[in-house]
Amino acid sequence: MLADIGGTNARFALARRDAVDPLLMDSVREFAVADFPSLADAARHYLDTTGAIATTGVFAVAGRVDGDEARITNHPWVISAVRTGEQLGLGSLRLVNDFAAQAMGASLLRPQDVVPVGGIGWSGHDAVDRTFAIIGAGTGLGVGGLLRRGGRYFPLQTEGGHVSFAPNSPEEIEILVQMSAEFGRVSNERLVSGQGLVNLHRALSNIAGEDPGPLKPSDITARAKEGDERSLRTIDVFCAVFGAAAGDLVLTLGAWDGVFLTGGLVPKLLPSIAHSAFRQRFEYKGRFSPVMARIPTLAVVHPQPGLLGAAALAQDVA
Q: Is 32 annotated as a binding residue?
A: no
Q: Is 49 annotated as a binding residue?
A: no
27 touches 13 (CB < 8 A): yes
Q: Is 235 annotated as a binding residue?
A: no
Q: Is 240 annotated as a binding residue?
A: no
Residues 6+ apart with CB under 8 A from 215: 198, 201, 202
Q: Is 3 annotated as a binding residue?
A: yes
Q: Where are the alpha helices (DSSP H) in the chain?
A: 39-50, 81-88, 98-106, 170-183, 194-207, 217-225, 229-253, 265-274, 278-283, 289-292, 305-316
Residues 6+ apart with CB under 8 A from 9: 30, 31, 32, 33, 264
Q: How far apart are CA 183 and CA 186, in angstroms?
A: 6
Q: Is 8 annotated as a binding residue?
A: yes
Q: Per the annotation, where are the binding residues for ATP?
A: 3-8
Binding site, by residue number, is 3-8
